[in-house]
Structures are given as C-alpha cells and as structure tokens.
Structure 1
Amino acid sequence: MLRKRAKKISREQMLSSRPVRNRFLAWKERGERVFVIFKRRSSKGAVLLSKIFRIPEEKIVELDPIGARVWKMCDGQSTVEGMIETLSEENRLEYKEAEVALLQFLKTLAKRGMIGFQVPTADEADQRG
C-alpha cells in the first residue's frame, strides 16, 4: 500500500508549527506522569480479530515526567520553538540539545497517531522571524 508523502516544510514553518493532541485519545495524569489510552476499534472485523488474537480493549502508553510535560504543551497554542525554549530552560539543556530531543519525540508521537501539527503557511512562518 502506498503512503502519501508528507510535504516538505521549511525550518521556520516547523518551529512555528503548533502540536495538537489527538482528540480521540483519553489521557490521565498521575503525579508527574501521563498515561495515554488507546481504545480498540469497535468494528465487526476488529472485534472478531480481537477475540481470535486476544487483543486487549485498550492500550496504555506511559509518558515519563519530561514526556508528560511535552504532552501537556501539545495544546495547539504552544509553538515547537516555544516548547524547545521551555524544555531548554527547565532541564538546563543547550537549545540545540533540547531541539534535537524534542523533534525526535514529537516525530515518535506523530507516527503513533498521538499528535498532529498546525503548520503555518510559508508567509506566516517568515513573518515570525
């Protein structure tokens, strides 16, 4: 099956983008950690397969305190650049270290369908700087 290729975006657009949590996922906070809950699909085929292969009703992903902090900032308001600055300050990291770590984590969350991005147009991103 062919996947649709993601459009390339500029660095400015990436830094200006606003990560947004998947609104169909439930999540809970416990202390400094966050638990994201994936519910199993309820289609007839999914129910049948889940009985055959004993697939649980839900899957829970636990985020550590830093992952939980990032998750909470994926509110559609915070920009990637703002998140980098926050993580850099809170964890005493160089900007570049925080940037590399955050971008990798956001990529992982996006691949798992946990977040999406509101990406500004190239013109909007250029006005940022």
Structure 2
Amino acid sequence: MNFEDVKDKKPKKIGELIDRSEESDNYIVKVAEDKVYELAPIAYYIWAMCDGNRSVDEIVNELSKEANLDISQVRDPVVMVLDELEKASLITF
C-alpha cells in the first residue's frame, strides 16, 4: 500500500474499543467474539480517526499538525499502520 494509491480513500473502522491494557498503554479492540486485538496508542489513535468521512490525506494532515511534525515524516508511518489495520480487518476502505 502506498500513499498515492490511498490518499483519497476514506477508511472506516471496524470493531469497538472494549478496554485499555493494565500492563501497557495499549488499547483492546474487539472485532468479533473470537477476534480481539491489542493496539499500540498510535495505532489506536489512527484507527479511531477512521470514521469513513476523513480521507487518508486528511488523517495524515491532522496527525502532522497534532504531532508538530512535517507531513513527510508522518505519511509513511500512517500508511503502514493503515495497511496493518486493514490486514487485521480493523478497517475497510
């Protein structure tokens, strides 16, 4: 997955937050009764932004502003996280 291919797509999250891990700062997201994932804070934050209304480009821009980083520093990591979330069936495009 690369940015140019997905920048205009609007990912939508699947599943629901059920808890925060006590041992770490990770978030527990349930997709189905037998499918539960533990997400690192940044992955959870990106997942939570996938509301079906924001494009990948808008997510990158928003994260870049909030983290006070250049868009070029944020773009590839965001696309990588979205790719992993899609593989885990936690988002759909």
TM-score (norm 1): 0.58
| Alpha-carbon offset, residue 69 of structure 1 | 1.5
Identify the match of residue 83 of structure 1 among 40, 59, 67. Answer: 59
Moved over 6 A (4+): none
Q: Does residue 34 of the first structure (1) align with residue 27 of the second (2)?
A: yes
Residue number in structure 1 paired with 2:7? 15
- 1:24-63 CA distance string (max 9 Å, x none): x332354x853211435xxxxxxxxxxxxxxxxx343222
Alignment of 1:1-129 (within 5 A): 11=4, 14-22=6-14, 25-28=15-18, 30=20, 34-40=27-33, 58-117=34-93
With over 3 angstroms needed to count, the CA separation of the structure-2 counterparts of 1:84 and 1:39, relative to structure 1, is same
**What is the total number of aligned residue pairs between the two structures?**
89
Describe the SS at the equivalent of 2:69.
Answer: coil
| Alpha-carbon offset, residue 10 of structure 1 | 8.8
With over 3 angstroms needed to count, the CA separation of the structure-2 counterparts of 1:10 and 1:89, relative to structure 1, is closer
* Runs of 5+ consecutive residues of structure 2 not aligned to the other structure: none
Describe the SS at the equivalent of 1:76.
Answer: coil
| Alpha-carbon offset, residue 112 of structure 1 | 1.1
The whole-number CA distance in structure 2 between the counterparts of 1:105 and 1:75 is: 15
* Runs of 5+ consecutive residues of structure 1 not aligned to the other structure: 1-7, 41-57, 118-129
The whole-number CA distance in structure 2 between the counterparts of 1:9 and 1:68 is: 20
| Alpha-carbon offset, residue 9 of structure 1 | 9.3
The two structures, once aligned, show a CA RMSD in angstroms of: 2.6
